[in-house]
Amino acid sequence: MSIETEQFRSPQVEREKNYESKESKEAELDPELKAAAAMERADYLTGEIKSSKKQIQNIVVHMSQVLQALKQLRAQLQLSEDGDHASLEQDNKRIEELKSKISEHKDELIKMKDELIVGYMNELQKQDATMGESALREKAEQAVDNVLNELEN
C-alpha cells in the first residue's frame, strides 16, 4: 500500500515542482509585464482624456446653439431673457463630470509616471541595445513628459 501511495505522490510532487519553476520564470518577466501594462493603461487613459475633451467641445458648441435658438424664440414670443434652461443645466453638469473624469485620468497618469518611464526604457532598449542607461532614462522621461504636456493642452 505504501508503494502505491508513493507512486501516486511522485507525479504530484513533479507537478508542484513544475508549477514552482513556472512561477519563478513568470517572476523574472514580471517587470516587463508591469511596464507593458502601464504603457497600455497610459494609452487607454490618453484616449479617454482626448475623447472627453472632444465631448466637452461638442457640448459647448451645442449649448451655444441652444442659447442662440432660445434667444430667437424668446424674441419672437416677446418673453423676458431671464430664467434657467433645463437642457443647459444638464449640459453644464455633463461638462463638470467630464472635467472631473479628465482630472482623475491625468492624476492616474502622473502617478504612473515612473512605470511609464520604465516601459519606454524597455521599448527604447529593444530598438537600440547600445544606448546607455542614462540616455535611455533621459529619452524615456522626455517621451513621458511630452505625452503629459500634450494632454494639458
Residues 6+ apart with CB under 8 A from 93: none
Query: Residue 29 pLDDT > 70, yes or no?
Result: no
Residues 6+ apart with CB under 8 A from 69: none
User: Taking the alpha carbons of 34, 40, 41, 42 in that order, is the dihedral positive or negative?
Assistant: positive
Name which of 5-14, 21-30, 33-42, 85-94 the model is least confident about.
5-14
**DSSP string covering 85-124:** -HHHHHHHHHHHHHHHHHHHHHHHHHHTHHHHHHHHHHHH
Per-residue confidence band for 104, with pLDDT thresholds at 50, 70 and 90: confident
Residues 6+ apart with CB under 8 A from 131: 124, 125, 139
Q: State how far the Cα of 42 lies from the Cα of 147, in Å rounded to an integer.
A: 9
CA atoms lying within 13 Å on the CB side of residue 69: 9
Cell numbers of 149, please? 504636456
